Amino acid sequence: MMTQLRFDDRVAVVTGRRGLGAPMRCCSLPGAKVVVNDIAPA
């Protein structure tokens, strides 16, 4: 389940569907953290 959640959150951040909900969740995930950092500055 963890893998599915991480993938879902990462996709949510990239698509920007969840908005602030996704980035906050990704912050606690190591895999998605990279995605958040890459999008945050942009």
pLDDT digits (tens, 9 = 90+) for 10-32: 665 555 555 555 455 544 555 55
User: What global pTM score does this model have?
Assistant: 0.19
Each domain of the chain, given as residue ranges in start order, spans: 2-39
Dmax of the chain from CA atoms?
30
Angle, in degrees to the nearest 10, between helices 2-15 and 30-39: 0
3-state secondary structure of 1: coil
DSSP-derived letter for residue 10 is H
Residue with tokens 């959150």: 9
- Work out the pLDDT band at 42, boundaries 50, 70, 90: very low
- For the chain, helix, strand, coil in percent to 5 are 75, 0, 25
Q: Tell me the average pLDDT across 29-42.
A: 52
Residue 8 has pLDDT above 60, yes or no: yes
